[in-house]
Amino acid sequence: MKTNSLFEVFVNSILGKRYYTTFVAPKIETNRKSWIKNKKENYFMLSFDIDEQKDIKNLPWLLDLLNKYKIKAIFAIIGKHVEQHPEIYQQIINNGHELINHTYSHPDNPEFNPNKHFHTLPNEEKFLEIEKCHRVVKKILNYEMTGFRVPHFGYQFTEEIYPLLKKLNYSYSSSTVAIRTKTAGFPYKHDNIWEFPITCCQDHPFCIFDTSHAFRAKIVSHTSKEYIKSFEQLLKSNKNSFINIYQDPQDLKKFNYEKMLILLKKYKLNTVTYQQLTRLLK
C-alpha cells in the first residue's frame, strides 16, 4: 500500500509506535467503548487480495492451511483471473470462503494495465470495471458477490464507489484505511453501504497491517519475527473489538504463516466473513 504524503512517510519511518500509542490508540479506545456499548462482539476478518499470478500459485497451499484450522476467509478477486483459472476460484467457494469484487482488470496491475489508476478513471469506466467482474464471476462460477474492494486501498480509494456499488445492489465495501476514518477503523455506513476499514499497523500507523508493506516495502518493513509479534500484540490489544486485515498469498511462505493461524485460534476472536458481519450488524 502506498502512502499519500511526506508526513505519512515521516510518521511511519520515524515516529512509528509512538505516534500510534499517542494519537491512534486513544481514538480506537473511544470508538471501542461505543462499539461494546451497542453490544457488538469482537470480530476478526481475514482477507486475501489475489492480484498477481504469484498469488494464485500459493492458493492451493493456503486453502489447505485454512481448512486445517477451520478458518473462513474473504478473497478479493479479479475478473480476468477468474476467466484464466476458474478451477481454483471454484475451490475457494467449495471450501466455504467468500469472494468479493476487486474489479475486472485491477487498474495499476503490472500484469494487465500498469498505466491506469482506479481513482482517476471516469465514473463510467469505474463502474464497467466493477460490473464486468461481477458479471464474469456470476457467469463462470454462479456466485453472486455483494461486496467490493478498491485496488490498492488508501491512495486509490474514492467515495465515488458507493453510488456505483448501489447500482449492483452491493451492501458493503472494504476499501479504506482505519487511520483515515472518523471511526478509527470501526465499521460505518456511507450512502447505505457498510464500509469495513482495514486495520492499520501498530508500528507504521499509516500502513495497513498487510504482508505487502511487511515484506516488500522499501521504507518501512518487518522481519518475520517482528510481523508475527506485531500480529499477536494486535490480537491482545484489540480483544472485544474489530480487526480487519488483508494479506497477499504471494508473501505467506516468507515466514511461518501457520503460526499466525495458531495465534488466531489461541485468542478465540470471532472470525467472520463480510457477508456474515453485514447480517449481524442488521
Q: Are 59 and 53 a contacting pair, CB within 8 Å? A: no
Number of Cβ within 10 Å of residue 72's Cβ equals: 17
- Contacting residues for 99 by C-beta, under 8 A, at least 6 apart: 74, 75, 77, 89, 92, 93, 137, 141, 143, 145
What is the reported pLDDT for 56? 97
Average pLDDT of the residues of the chain? 90
Kindly calculate the radius of gyration of the chain based on its CA atoms and give it in whole angstroms.
Answer: 18
Q: Which of 149-153, 162-166, 209-213, 239-243 has the lowest mean pLDDT?
A: 239-243
pLDDT for the residue numbered 220: 85
pLDDT at 108: 81
pTM of the model: 0.93
Query: With 60 as the cut, is the pLDDT of residue 191 above it?
Result: yes
For the segment 70-95, the average pLDDT, to the nearest whole number, is 97
Q: Which of 56, 66, 23, 24 is nearest to 264 (CA)?
A: 66
- For 52-65, what is the mean pLDDT? 97
Q: What confidence category does residue 110 fall into, taking pLDDT thresholds of 50, 70 and 90?
A: confident
Report pLDDT for 11: 80
Per-residue pLDDT averaged across 179-188, rounded?
Answer: 92
Given this model, what pLDDT does residue 143 score? Answer: 98
Domain ranges of the chain: 6-281
Q: Give the rounded percent of residues in the chain with a pLDDT score beyond 70.
A: 96
Q: What is the pLDDT of residue 240?
A: 55
Confidence of residue 282 (pLDDT cuts 50, 70, 90): confident
Q: Which of 1-15, 84-98, 203-217 has the highest mean pLDDT?
A: 84-98
Closest by Cα among 108, 56, 54 to 77? 56
Residue pLDDT, tens place only, 120-142: 899 999 999 999 999 999 999 99
Asked which of 53-67, 84-98, 152-166, 268-282 is least confident by mean pLDDT, the reply is 152-166
Q: Is the pLDDT of residue 1 over 50?
A: no
* CA distance linking residue 232 with residue 230, whole number of Å: 5
Among positive and negative, which fits the CA dihedral 42, 20, 197, 251? negative
Q: Is the pLDDT of residue 193 over 60?
A: yes
Mean pLDDT of 18-23: 88
Summarised one tens digit per residue, pLDDT across range 198-254 is: 999 888 988 889 999 899 988 888 899 999 999 998 888 765 589 999 999 999 999
Nearest Cα to Cα of residue 100 among 276, 282, 280: 276
Q: Report the topology of domain 6-281.
A: TIM Barrel (3.20.20)
- Look at residue 6 in the predicted model and tell me its pLDDT: 84
> What values do phi and psi take at 103, rounded to 5?
80, 165
Q: Which residues contact 10 (CB under 8 A, 6 or more apart)?
A: none
| Residue tagged 453510488 (cell numbers) | 163
- DSSP per residue, 204-258: STTSBS-HHHHHH-SSS---HHHHHHHHHHHHHHTTTSEEEEEE-GGGGGGTTHH
Instruction: For residue 96, count other CB atoms closer than 10 A to its CB.
Output: 13
